Amino acid sequence: MSKQVRTRFAPSPTGHLHIGNARTAIMNWIFARHAQGQFILRIEDTDRERSTEASEKAILEDLRWLGLDWDEGPDRSGDFGPYYQSERIQLYQNVLAELIRKGRAYPCYCTPEELEAHRKSRLKDGLPPGYSGACRELSVSDQKQFENEGKIPSFRFRVEKDDASFDDLIKGPIQFETDVLGDFILARPDGMPMYNFACVVDDHSMEISHVIRGDDHVSNTPRQVVLYRALGWDLPAFAHIPMILGDDRQRLSKRHGATSVTQYRENGYLPEALLNFLSLLSWSSESGEEILSSEQLIKEFDFARVGRASSIFDVEKLNWMNGVYIRNLDLAVLSERMRPFMAHKGYPDLPEEALQTIISLLHEKADTLAEMAEKAGIFFREPVPENDEARAVLAEEASKAVFRAFLDETGAMTSWSGDAFLAVMKQIQSKTGVKGKQLWMPVRVALTGQCHGPELPGVVDFMGLKKCRENIEKAL
């Protein structure tokens, strides 16, 4: 086994990148970079029916969007390829043959129906649903008879009095009794390897030093450990990170909202913020800081600071963190990231200066880019009152007095700015006696259709005098 730290992320291209899997990828990447090691991307595509090229492309795109880079992978050659499991079948077959020679693997001709009946019988008797061992001691002649009948076997691992214990970098020493494992399947009748078998062969042959994954894999680890030991291979270090739960403390799912990286991307979250947020689920900085750059995360990472308790996916905290990142971005960078969201809303393609002006008015109170694009509608849509409260404001007699005074005060004006607007509002207050909320709210509703929003001087400066007067006239 290589002494260099080598971690891996091995997604199955059967759908979008789940937020939990993204957190796993982030932890592997951060630790590899912290240890000045290598991060490997491997595609586990042996599920022929569900694996798609589109899913693979989307997963890689999401990983790149998060800012993760890999040293070896399907699009970056290395000394340990190929990096698709579907292209490593011969390697699995070679290792399977070795296990057969050692007497640690054997063919199983049991049908799915027979296995299911046995499973139900054991559960009915209150026993764990392990394999019955029906094919464990078949003679050569028995095997030939099954094959003459056209039966194609799967292959099972022969579990003996093996040592399935291991030390976990997060959970500490873990003991498992092998008699509860049962003889598990290594390869299906079509020759495709099962997850635990392929995972062990790949991790060993790629010299993976640390296997970092969610603790839903803890139950898989004993099977992998006995395989390592049966093959005479050194164990990698295992680290099982706590699961991510929803606010109801149930496993994160669609009922909790967005669950894929693609959804958060489309909803206007920044990759830096999402990476920061996910890295802090179960891990914390010794400094106590929560806004941490990827460089800080890499520098400070330590398995000793990874907790054992499940993490709660706090959307409000993510929104807060994303808002902080939005406000910390340079306006030119934020403008570039906003353009796709503005285009999606159907807004015109604005010159850079105009777009930055809009962003400067909106970004202080926005949590996502999508929210900011929605709020930008006040500069492009007719100011239709958004609710009953807004309609009621326009109907008040005091509001009409303010509108008439606004039109009177601005009728002869030729120049316009935020400061000029403030001077006009001061004159209106003096002229009508209306002040406070009754003075400002109707003007805001008349100009934007909303009761709340960005600072009015900036809004009117962007709109221009002509548009402001038109909107006030319509409201009146």
User: Among all residues, which ones are annotated catalytic?
Assistant: 254
Residue 242 pairs with which residues in a beta bridge? none
Burial class (CB in 10 A: 0-12, 13-18, 19+), 40: buried
Q: How far apart are CA 73 and CA 9, in angstroms?
A: 10
H helix or E strand, kind and range, residue 186: strand 185-187
Dist CA 322 CA 133 (whole Å): 55
Distance in angstroms (rounded) separating the CA atoms of residues 382 and 396:
21
How far is C-alpha 265 from the chain's CA centre?
A: 9
Burial class (CB in 10 A: 0-12, 13-18, 19+), 437: exposed
Quick one: residue 126, left, alpha or beta (phi over 0 = left, psi -120 to 50 = alpha)? left
**Strands in 200-285 per DSSP E:** 210-214, 237-241, 244-245
Could you check whether the bond before residue 107 is cis, i.e. omega within 30 degrees of 0?
Answer: no
